[in-house]
């Protein structure tokens, strides 16, 4: 469920045309700088002093916000790709989360927030009443199209049941996704959702910890050559790979705690051209071997 917090001076909505008819929020970037800050898995608790796995989550998010604001130019937008809240998405969690991201809004930087399995739609909307009201083309799922000069971003909703690890897109959202991809212009498409891909294993009774409808999702994405990447969080393990059909898979680092202390946490600075996608990893620990690493991926 992308909730979009867009300062009034930066709002530019398409009210007519094919994209508006798709029923999701459609936002055009107004800047020519064309860089974006991507975060995931902030896991903010009501208590800003709360630690988990030896990590103070609020301190980490505060550091990331400060780093974004210290950049020479402001990003066109920020996306927090799910699990904004610590565990069950309490109203008090979002009160603390909102206070931590407020400096970005004060700087008139648009923020788009997707839902992870530790989020809850009801309390979320209570704390973000100015979030844009818009039609829901896929049942309870909330979707967004972010147009930029070089690429189109599609923000999906993989939340199924609060505090249950499994994610799900659902038939309605998959149908919307296929229709939307057919109607977008010819620019490369970058897709974002909280959950990772997980192909089912034969005769397995193990819990699905990723996206339950991965097969159906990949059938849609793989049939659309304009899809060039899928960004996701959830696993708390940064990495780059490719799908079976050849588009990029970007596993975002968590802002919060790690499951494996050797992996980086932090955020990604993204810039695009019509041909390339540039990713710069900003680690919270500046002595990590991957801090500052830049990777350029082809969009052709």
Residue 126, beta-bridge partner list = none
Question: 137 falls in which pLDDT band (50, 70, 90)?
Answer: low
Determine the pLDDT at residue 13: 43
Residue located via tokens 């990723």: 210
Determine the pLDDT at residue 17: 45
The pTM for the full model equals 0.92
Determine the pLDDT at residue 104: 96
Contacts of residue 290, Cβ cutoff 8 Å, sequence gap at least 6: 238, 264, 281, 283
3-class DSSP string for the chain: CCEEECCHHHCCECCCCCCHHHCCEEEECCCCCCEEEEECCCCECCCCCCEECCEEHHHHHHHHHHHHHHCCCCCCEEEEECCCECCCCCHHHHHHHHHHHHHHHHCCCCEEEECCCCCCHHHHHHHCCCCCCCCCCECCECCEEEECCCCEEEECCCCCCCCCCCECCCHHHHHHHHHHHHHCCCCCEEEECCCCECCCCCCCCCCCCCECCHHHHHHHHHCCCCEEEEEECCCCCCEEEECCCCCEEEECCCCCCCCCCCCCCEEEEEEECCCEEEEEEEECCCCCCCCCCEEEEECC
CA angle 253, 140, 155 (to 5 degrees): 35
**Nearest by Cα to 116 from 97, 133, 135:** 97
Give the Cα separation of 186 and 88 in Å (integer).
Answer: 39
Q: Looking at residues 277-284, what average pLDDT do you find?
A: 98
| Least confident segment among 126-135, 257-266, 286-295 | 126-135
Q: Where are the domains of the chain?
A: 3-298
Neighbours of 233 (CB within 10 A): 30
Residues 3-298, CATH architecture: 4-Layer Sandwich (3.60)
Dump pLDDT digits (tens) for 208-236: 999 999 999 999 999 999 999 999 999 99
Q: In the structure encoding, which two tokens stand for residue 204, read together?
A: 């397995």
Kindly give the interhelix angle for 171-183 and 214-222, rounded to the nearest 10 degrees. 10
Determine the pLDDT at residue 200: 85
């Amino acid at each position: 469920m992308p909730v979009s917090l867009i300062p009034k001076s930066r709002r530019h909505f398409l009210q007519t045309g094919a994209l508006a008819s798709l029923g999701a929020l459609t936002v055009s970037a107004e800047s020519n700088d064309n860089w974006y800050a991507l975060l995931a898995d902030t896991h903010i608790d009501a208590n800003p002093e709360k630690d988990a796995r030896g990590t103070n989550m609020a301190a980490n998010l505060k550091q990331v916000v400060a780093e974004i604001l210290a950049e020479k130019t402001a990003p066109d937008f920020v996306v927090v790709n799910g699990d904004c809240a610590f565990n069950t998405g309490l109203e008090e969690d979002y009160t603390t989360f909102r206070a931590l991201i407020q400096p970005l809004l004060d700087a008139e930087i648009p923020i788009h927030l997707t839902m992870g399995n530790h989020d809850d739609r009801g309390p979320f909307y209570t704390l973000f009443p100015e979030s844009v009201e818009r039609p829901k083309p896929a049942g309870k799922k909330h979707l967004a199209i972010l147009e930029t000069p070089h690429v189109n971003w599609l923000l999906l909703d993989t939340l199924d049941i609060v505090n249950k690890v499994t994610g799900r897109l659902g038939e309605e959202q998959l149908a919307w996704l296929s229709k939307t991809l057919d109607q977008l212009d010819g620019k490369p498409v970058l897709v974002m959702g909280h959950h990772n891909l997980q192909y089912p294993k034969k005769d397995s009774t193990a819990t699905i910890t990723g996206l339950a409808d991965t097969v159906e999702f990949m059938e849609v994405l793989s049939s659309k050559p304009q899809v060039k990447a899928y960004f996701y969080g959830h696993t708390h393990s940064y990495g780059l790979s490719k799908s079976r059909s050849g588009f990029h898979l970007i596993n975002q680092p968590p802002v919060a705690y790690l499951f494996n202390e050797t992996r980086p946490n932090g955020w990604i600075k993204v810039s695009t051209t019509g041909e390339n996608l540039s990713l710069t990893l900003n680690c919270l620990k500046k002595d990590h071997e991957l801090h500052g690493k830049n990777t350029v991926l082809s969009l052709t």
